[in-house]
Structure 1
Amino acid sequence: MQRRLIALALAGCAWVAMPAALHAAGAPALEYTAEMRGPAPIPPAEQGLQTITATPWFKVSDDGLQLEGPVFDRAGNLIFTEVFGGKVFRLTPDKRLETILGENALAPAGLAIHRDGRIFIAGLGDFKDAGSVVAMNPDGSGLTAIVPDTAGFLPDDLVFDDKGGFYFTDFKGTSTDPTGGVYYVGPEGGEKGGEPVAVLPNLSVANGVGLSPDGKTLWVTEFSKGLLHRVSLSDATTIAPFGTTVPYHFTGPAPDSLRTDADGNVYVAMYGQGRVLVFNPNGMPIAQILLPGRETGHNLRSTSMVIRPGTNDMYILTNDWKAGEGSTIFHCKALAAAPVDFSHR
């Protein structure tokens, strides 16, 4: 035994004494490839998807504004928000940019237009527990609390159903503390609606929310866990038996807002990746839309998108944060036209 130990010790000394070149001789080596480079490489499972690159359409600002919540009103104006400054903008069909709500403490993230023309705003408030849903007239006047900032929610996005009620996401929690969720506010109770009812609780930072064209399927993104939820509804607040699935687990940061088209396809903005992933009505990935400059770290904060009613023209909002290219709206063609907007009926 003693001889064996001595032999092993001598062998170890001999290995340490060898030149470094001999240590590495024949060692397998990793190498960067084109697909690996950049801050947000496309995961291997998604590299074969049909892929297009959107084109610049309108430069909102030279500053990196956190643009969010795009919707079209009945006049064809594009309404959207700037979260950290609290502003709500209107971009007219001839591309005149107007401010309809100045700086405020709402931290507006999501917008939806009521059938009576009022603009509903999902606001993150203090980003802790004092967010709200408010309504205002198209000119920015008449602010009215629908879900007050004392209710304890952090509303991030919202969508109306055909009854005049709406779903909103509660942007609370962390990846290990699922205290957010999706809630429904019914149309009852006059202009302020009903009390929020939990539909899909226990989510880690619920973010995007949308409905299928027939209103029977609710789609939700879970930002901190990177999940896409597909929820079959029996009624506005009741999940059908065995009606929930997680058809997709995202790789990397992070699923943000979503929209649907008239064929039931789902578009998810990937915040931190400068792209939009497209899913069929069953939640299977079928395509992707890239933003220019993403491979060198630009335009990665892709937050949301909208399809212009009556067309398949899609507009994607992003910002370059501190990387120098400001805040831009990009344009491409979606697979199908916009769904019938319940607020436009």
Structure 2
Amino acid sequence: MPKNIPASLLLVLSATAFMAHAGESIPTLAYPAGDKQLHAIPAPEKDLPTVTAQRWIKVSDEGMQLEGPAFDREGNLLFVEVFGGQVLKADPQGKLSVVVPKNTLGSAGLAIHKDGRLFVAGLGNFKNTGNLTVYQSDGSGKKELIAGNKNYLVDDLVFDSTGGFYFTDFKGTSTEPTGGVYYVPADGQSIVPILPKLAIANGIALAPDGKTLWVTEFASGLLHRVELKDARTIAPFGEAVVYRFNGPSPDSMRVDQDGNLYVAMYSQGRVLVLNPSGLPIGQILIPGREHGHFLRSTSLALKPDTNEVYLVASDGDLGEGSAIFKAQGFAKALKLYSHD
């Protein structure tokens, strides 16, 4: 190669090279339609059988954080409001009323005893004053079953066939898993640890046979299947993580009579349905989620003797308040202890 190349020639060569590169087609990443937003459905679950729910009732113009829906024997849907602590009721026509007025208990979950009493899980100050409070069906007769000084954050609960119940302890982080699952027998005299060291234990449900316990970890996105030897003991080799959720974050869940598991996906505006093996088989979308609305889908209830699924959700500070939506699930509701 010549050592002395005229500067003018170098300029010509550089310009020619630049023009050649400018004409090249450089591979470029592009967003698939709709996938730029945070509310996109994770790729592994996009092609599942899908239905979009319809709005049943609007609960509030404000973004109240709704939780814990459960049907009573009269067909009323009861649910709680987390930051206000109150228990609300929607009758079969959708008319709203207050059962328990506003308080500082941080109500986060609700289950109904077969005698009609309301068992309300509370997060308290979200640090160390969680509680479980029992009311008569009309909201009277308040009784503290798990006191706020026991260092639990009681988030959700499910009755077994004896009247005892399991609850989740909503503590910890993804790197410091200090939450867990506990059992309280029907006499309410003890609290038995079942599954420790969970990263914000959240949703909990029992399979139709009453021998399989399902638990979600909110902070780590895991689904646990727990085979029970008896109410207080896990069977040998009976615990496994059977699903790892995509994106945020598994919240409360319910089971239908076929054993399918319906998991509310917080920050995703949808419910993911898994079969009794813990594999996804369908999903229910909340209308408006494609525009970022009602992503705070926290919980659901299946209406007795039907396959209707009622979802509670909040729009946060985006202006559409809080509402309850409904859709048809795969199978009819599992008969719960409240209806025995």
The TM-score, its normalising length taken from structure 1, stands at 0.92
Partner of 2:143: 144
Whole-angstrom CA distance in 1 between matches of 2:23 and 2:121: 58
CA contact (8 A) 2:297 2:314 kept: yes
* Residue 265 (1) aligns with residue 269 (2): no
CA contact (8 A) 2:56 2:94 kept: no
Partner of 2:108: 109
Partner of 1:73: 72
Whole-angstrom CA distance in 2 between matches of 1:23 and 1:85: 61
Q: Cα deviations across residues 1-55 of structure 1 (Å, max 9, x unaligned)?
A: xxxxxxxxxxxxx99xx75993794321011221413222111111111111001
Partner of 1:195: 190
Partner of 2:297: 302
Unaligned residue ranges in structure 1 (runs of 5+): 1-13
Whole-angstrom CA distance in 2 between matches of 1:143 and 1:169: 22
Partner of 2:199: 204
Partner of 2:236: 241
Whole-angstrom CA distance in 2 between matches of 1:328 and 1:19: 58
Partner of 1:37: 36
Whole-angstrom CA distance in 2 between matches of 1:289 and 1:90: 23
Deviation at 1:92, TM superposition (A): 1.0
Deviation at 1:87, TM superposition (A): 1.0
Whole-angstrom CA distance in 1 between matches of 2:72 and 2:43: 39
Partner of 1:324: 319
Q: 2:283 aligns with which of 288, 294, 305?
A: 288
Counterpart secondary structure, 1:258: strand
Unaligned residue ranges in structure 2 (runs of 5+): 1-12
Q: Structure 1 counterpart of 2:234, which letter? A: I
Whole-angstrom CA distance in 2 between matches of 1:245 and 1:279: 15
Q: Structure 1 counterpart of 2:300, which letter? A: M
Q: 2:245 aligns with which of 242, 250, 259?
A: 250
Partner of 1:9: none
Deviation at 1:186, TM superposition (A): 0.5
Partner of 1:58: 57
Runs of 4+ with deviation above 2 angstroms: 18-27
Whole-angstrom CA distance in 2 between matches of 1:275 and 1:203: 24
Question: Cα RMSD between the aligned structures?
Answer: 1.9
Q: Cα deviations across residues 155-175 of structure 1 (Å, max 9, x unaligned)?
A: 000000001100000000001
Deviation at 1:154, TM superposition (A): 0.1
CA contact (8 A) 1:80 1:90 kept: yes
Deviation at 1:313, TM superposition (A): 0.9
Partner of 2:7: none
Whole-angstrom CA distance in 2 between matches of 1:176 and 1:147: 27
Whole-angstrom CA distance in 1 between matches of 2:38 and 2:76: 34
CA contact (8 A) 2:72 2:338 kept: no
| Cα distance change on mapping 1:20 and 1:302 into 2, 3 Å | farther
CA contact (8 A) 2:310 2:325 kept: yes
Partner of 1:122: 121
Q: Structure 2 counterpart of 1:226, which letter? A: G
Q: Structure 1 counterpart of 2:91, which letter? A: T
Deviation at 1:137, TM superposition (A): 0.7
Whole-angstrom CA distance in 2 between matches of 1:211 and 1:291: 25
State how 1:200-239 maps to structure 2 within 5 Å: 200-239=195-234
Q: Structure 2 counterpart of 1:151, which letter? A: K
Whole-angstrom CA distance in 2 between matches of 1:280 and 1:186: 29
Whole-angstrom CA distance in 2 between matches of 1:144 and 1:23: 76
| Cα distance change on mapping 1:101 and 1:229 into 2, 3 Å | same
Identity, % of aligned positions: 56
Deviation at 1:218, TM superposition (A): 0.2
| Cα distance change on mapping 1:166 and 1:35 into 2, 3 Å | same
Partner of 1:162: 161
